[in-house]
Amino acid sequence: MTNTFNPEEILTNAVAMFLPFLPKIFLALITYFIGSSIIKWVVSLISNQFQKKELERSLQGFFISVGTVSLKVLLLISIAGILGIETTSFIALLGAAGLAVGLAFQNSLSNFAGSVLILVFKPFKVGDLIELEGRIGVVKEIQMFCTVITTPDNKTAILPNGPVANGTIINLSRESIKRIDLTFGIGYGDNIESAKEALHRVINADPRVLKEPGPTVAVRSLGDSSVNLVFRVWVKTEEYWDVYFHMMEMVKLELDKSKIAIPFPQRDVHIFQAS
């Protein structure tokens, strides 16, 4: 006697097995959608409270990221319980999976530890202009695993917090004043004192240059083709680039007025004719 393939019977049996689980699946889906909405509402509420309390923006982003992940994990455990999965076993399984994932994603754990170090020691905060991993930009967010910066050309750079916390961090916004360092070369035939007077005229004409600490104009080195003068002035941090570019232009114009040229590299070539 041969068994015949009966699709209708298989479908009937499948439906009979599936029907008892249908209410649980339906309830799980409802729980998921309602829970997701509640999580968004709670995160939004917490974010508003942080803003009212004027909590530092760096901490806001970190706590919101951690809170969102934690609430989603709780929602996942609740859905598992509704589906009839043993919660205790599920948590143990989740822990084992977390351990396996942790071993597989050691860099991510390193980035999380880096986030904690950044928030504890505060080498920078949201809104600071910093240099990280060879990139310069304004800190937009400090998240659970990464720092988001906006570069001067308006590009978004996402840097992992592990290397950031363990690397060199240059905070360009922390100090209220900053020094502009420039070097200008004059010809060996030009008068050094006249050149220095021209540079001082540029300094005195700009009210943004601070009187204390005072400016510096001095001979820095004797180059191959020029006498190099160092030009140092102190300005407010927020005015650094405006003064920098202005000084570059004004020094050139003032040296031109004083008939002092900025020489090109020169080389003397001696030709010997064999006798």
* Digit-coded pLDDT (tens) for 28-39: 888 888 888 888
* 245 part of a folded domain: yes
Give me the pLDDT at residue 118, please: 85
The more confidently predicted of residues 48 and 217 is 217
Per-residue pLDDT, 230: 93
**Residue 220, domain member (yes or no):** yes
Residue 127 has pLDDT above 70, yes or no: yes
Provide the CB-side half-sphere exposure for 216 (13 A, CA): 13
Whether residue 138 is contained in a domain is answered as: yes
Both 65 and 118 in one domain: the answer is: no
Tell me what the mean pLDDT of segment 156-176 comes to.
88
Is the separation of the CB atoms in 140 and 148 below 8 Å? Answer: yes
Out of 154, 171, 188, a domain closes at: 171
Is the residue at 273 inside a domain? Answer: no
| pLDDT > 90: percent of the chain | 26
> Within this chain, do residues 117 and 184 fall inside the same structural domain, yes or no?
no
Query: 77 in a domain, yes or no?
Result: yes
Residue 172, Cβ neighbours under 10 Å: how many?
A: 15
Domain hosting residue 166, numbered range: 113-171
pLDDT for residue 59: 64
My answer on whether 100 and 117 are in the same domain is no
Q: Which of 171, 186, 211 is the last residue of a domain?
A: 171
Asked if residues 174 and 157 have their Cβ atoms less than 8 Å apart, the reply is: no
**Residue 57 in this model has a pLDDT that exceeds 60:** yes
Burial of 26: CB neighbours in 10 Å, binned 0-12, 13-18, 19+: exposed
Average pLDDT, the chain: 81
Asked whether residue 152 is domain-assigned, the answer is yes
Residue 1 has pLDDT above 50, yes or no: no
Nearest-angstrom CA–CA distance, 158 and 132: 11
Q: Tell me the average pLDDT across 36-51.
A: 80
Which CATH number characterizes residue 124's domain?
A: 2.30.30.60
Average pLDDT for 15-41: 78
Q: Is the pLDDT of residue 137 over 60?
A: yes
Interatomic CA distance for residues 28 and 20, integer angstroms: 14
User: Which of 130-134, 143-147, 238-242, 262-266 has the weakest average pLDDT?
Assistant: 262-266
pLDDT digits (tens, 9 = 90+) for 139-158: 998 887 889 999 988 999 99
Helix, strand, or coil (residue 125): coil
Domain count, the chain: 3
Rounded distance, CA 225 to CA 188, Å?
8
In this predicted model, what pLDDT tens digit does every residue of 87-109 receive, in sequence order?
666 566 666 666 555 554 556 67
Q: Note the pLDDT of residue 6.
A: 64
According to the model, what pLDDT value does residue 274 have? 65
Check pLDDT > 90 for residue 72: no
User: Do residues 219 and 233 share a domain?
Assistant: yes
Q: Is residue 9 part of a domain?
A: no
Are the CB atoms for 148 and 156 separated by under 8 Å? Answer: yes
Please answer whether residues 173 and 136 qualify as being in contact, where contact means their C-beta atoms are separated by less than 8 angstroms: no
Is pLDDT above 80 for 266?
no
